[in-house]
């Protein structure tokens, strides 16, 4: 399990990539991946789940906290590339009503503006 973060040069796009299990064990690292950034308005957060193999209810809660954080600052959250199993969990929880869920990765165009710095 790991959480990696990349930030665009202008600081307006943040990619948070989850690999392995997305559960309570990564909660602090996940929160730090967006809370440690300098405060900015209108930030778009892209949560890349292409390498996530498991998601539990605490992960759903973490996504909701990220959504609340983003909305308080005029930003948005996009969930990218969930596996079929994880997508089914998101559907059961009605997350498609709360988030934009991209079945294919839209990260290529986003990553072009990244500094390459990872956390």
Q: What is the pTM of this model?
A: 0.87
Mean pLDDT of all residues in 5-12: 90
* Whether the predicted pLDDT of 115 surpasses 60: no
Please indicate whether residue 107 or residue 77 has the higher confidence score (pLDDT). Answer: 77
Within 8 A by CB and 6+ apart from 67, the residues are 77, 98, 99
Confidence band of 117 (pLDDT split at 50, 70, 90): very low
Mean pLDDT of all residues in 83-95: 96
Domains of the chain from N-terminus onward: 2-111 (3.30.750.24)
Indicate the burial class of 42 (C-beta count within 10 angstroms; 0-12, 13-18, 19 or more): exposed
């Amino acid at each position: 399990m790991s959480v990696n973060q990349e930030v665009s040069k202008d600081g307006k796009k943040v990619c948070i990539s989850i690999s392995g299990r997305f559960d309570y064990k990564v909660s602090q690292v996940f929160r730090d991946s967006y809370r440690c950034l300098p405060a900015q308005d209108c930030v778009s957060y892209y949560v890349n789940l292409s390498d996530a193999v498991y998601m539990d209810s605490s992960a759903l809660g973490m996504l909701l906290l990220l959504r609340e954080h983003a909305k308080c600052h005029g930003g948005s959250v996009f969930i990218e590339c969930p596996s079929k199993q994880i997508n089914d969990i998101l559907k059961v929880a009605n997350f498609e009503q709360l988030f934009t869920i991209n079945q294919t990765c839209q990260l290529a165009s986003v990553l072009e503006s990244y500094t390459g710095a990872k956390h």
